[in-house]
A and B are shown apart, each in its own frame.
Chain A
Amino acid sequence: MIMMSDELLRIEELSVRFAGSSRNALEKISLQIGRGERVGLIGESGSGKSLTALTIMGLLADNAKCRGSIRWQGRELLGLRDAEYSRLRGEEISMVFQEPMTALDPTMRTGRQVAEVLRLHERAPVGKARPRVLEMLADVGITDPQRVADSFPHQLSGGQRQRVLIAMALINTPDLLICDEPTTALDVTVQARVLELLRSGLDRAGSALLFISHDLAVVSQMVDRIAVIYQGRIVEAGTRSQVLENPHHPYTAGLIATADLANVAPGARLPVLDDFWKRAADGQR
């Protein structure tokens, strides 16, 4: 198979099923991400967004069976041995998780945790890692990197921890960064700042982005292309303007209308997903 040189990730017909379950948690998902491209994956809770991310990272539990194909720069990832996978993780693909309060080891100083990821992949000696870690922490908008590096996670705020996690994810300049609802746990003002830092970090590293969220407003700030996932299937995909301005799937249309609260007349009932979903279902059936 001849690969386009700028294609990073190609997921084809990926299905995931958990042992003991009668239906697939992911059903024939296909998704491509090119080098430096920013793609959003939108869906509600339980739609399979995070599962997609974990599958790409090779972090699924052993009771999950995957079918289909995940190609990373032309190389098949499904069935890769964990030792080989861990060489890829953090180096070529890295990830920022939703919950900054729990994603850092409570018994290790944050500076060491960032350095651990750096040393692992660059084999940098202890003394050399520290300046690079401090530089990285400063890059993600931490004003006193020395203090933060010497702090334990419980001594930092949620926003600071999420910055540390972003620093960890970007310190090896990965080709692809997966963000799984990175700002959901943060309050709105911190959220905007973290998104901005994420964008500038991605610009510096030249990394591609897979941004997972249920928040249309956040996603549309971050990405060029959007895929909508619903009940384990990708129901719609296209460029940001295609999807947002001219949604084909009723679920997408509902998502957009429910997010657009500014256009609801005062006193009128707020739109809910079912308004769109039921209408479409009646029409289709």
Chain B
Amino acid sequence: MRRNPGLVVGAAMVALVVVIAVISAFWTPYNPTEVSPNRLLPPSANHLMGTDGFGQDIFSRVLVGARSCLLVGVVAVGIGALLGVPLGITAAVKRHSWFGTLIMRATDIVYAFPALLLAIILAAARGSGSTLTAMTAIGIASVPAFARVSRGAALQVLSQDYIVAARSAGITSGGIAVRHVLPNIAPVVLVQVSVSFGLAILAEASLSYLGLGTPPTTPTWGRMIYESQPYLYSDLNLALWPGLFIAIAVLGFNLLGDGLRELVDPTLQDLDR
């Protein structure tokens, strides 16, 4: 742990985002969607981060934005992991059959398909941009990463003696996949969860920036940057704060992922001892 500062810093940054998300559920200094005549105020004691073009308190909006940022991460990564991990394990178990190949080629196709384009198509199909559409699109786009990572890890686990021993005890391939492969690849999947979480937050910010993400009534960091565009030259303040928090969240999850990877990787672990 001492030699893994990335893990500590990353965890602290993620914790900060989680804490402000929790705080925002109970308390914000102002109603984050309340429009007031106090437009474009600089940071002050009354408005810690100033106000935006509609007179809304930026600090309150940043706090609330943490909530949707985490929600997007959880749902998108959840979709990615719940679909990708079983697909990857199945592909590993069925590696010698056409079915395993089919799974991996199908995920390759999804992998090659740009996530933004997918979100635009989904948004078009559903009529308008909504948080759910964005989350689904980001989730689907992260399925291949989960499938590949878990297939690779599962292949390694499947070649272990205890898998042969489990098979010799009569445990079926389904039982082996659920009870023996899944727990053994969990650390690797956890690393991917952390990395994908950062990517999902960034993707949601991009989608919101393009107006494809959350509706205007829900403040998100990406949307706040989008709305700050007319004032970029006069009031940088509007884009600075949400941008800073996007950076904190994405960097935090990536550092956490890298730190976890170092913790999980047996070769690096041996060096530590």
Contact = CB atoms under 8 A, between A and B. Distances in A.
Contact of A105 (B96, B168, B172, B184): B184
A212 to B, nearest CB: 13
B166 interface: yes
Counting chain B CB atoms within 10 Å of each CB, the highest count among A82, A83, A103 belongs to A103
Contacts of A54: 164
A99 interface: yes
Contacts of A116: 169, 171, 175, 179
A86 B171 contact: yes
A235 B180 CA distance: 40
A57 B166 CA distance: 12
Given A62-B96, A106-B184, A97 B164 contact: yes
B160 interface: yes
B165 interface: yes
A90 interface: yes
A108 B179 contact: yes
B162 A86 contact: no
A105 B164 contact: no
Interface string A76-116: 00000011001111110011010100111111100000001
Contact of A99 (B161, B173, B175): B161
Nearest to B182: A107
B183 interface: yes
Contacts of B180: 105, 107-108
Contacts of A59: 164, 167-168
Interface size class of B (residues with CB under 8 A): 20 to 34
Given A105-B166, A108-B183, A165-B165, A117 B160 contact: no
B170 interface: yes
A95 B169 CA distance: 7
Main secondary structure of the interface of A (DSSP, over half): mixed
A102 B162 contact: yes
Contacts of A117: 169-171
Contacts of A86: 167, 170-172
Contacts of A83: 172
Contacts of A126: none
B169 A89 contact: yes
Contacts of A102: 160-162
Contacts of B179: 108, 116
B168 A106 contact: no
A90 B166 CA distance: 9
Contacts, number: 73
Contacts of B161: 97, 99, 102-103
Nearest to B161: A102
Counting chain A CB atoms within 10 Å of each CB, the highest count among B96, B160, B170, B183 belongs to B170
A168 B166 CA distance: 10
B169 A120 contact: yes
B265 to A, nearest CB: 16
A222 to B, nearest CB: 19
B28 to A, nearest CB: 43
A94 B165 CA distance: 9
Counting chain B CB atoms within 10 Å of each CB, the highest count among A59, A88, A91 belongs to A59
B162 A94 contact: no
A120 B162 contact: no
Interface string B160-202: 1110111111111101000110011010000000000000000
A120 B172 CA distance: 9
Given A102-B160, A108-B180, A108-B183, A91 B165 contact: no
A202 to B, nearest CB: 17
A121 interface: yes
Nearest to B160: A102
A89 B183 contact: no
A107 B184 contact: yes
Contacts of A169: 169
Given A99-B161, A108-B180, A94 B166 contact: no
B170 A89 contact: yes
Contact of A103 (B162, B170, B171): B162
Contacts of A89: 167-170
10 contacts: A86-B167, A86-B170, A89-B169, A103-B162, A105-B162, A105-B183, A106-B162, A108-B183, A116-B171, A120-B170
* In the A-B complex, the 10 residue pairs with the closest CB atoms: A90-B170, A90-B169, A102-B161, A89-B170, A107-B183, A95-B168, A62-B96, A103-B165, A117-B169, A105-B162
Given A95-B168, A104-B165, A106-B184, 7 more contacts: A57-B167, A90-B171, A94-B170, A95-B165, A107-B183, A116-B179, A120-B171
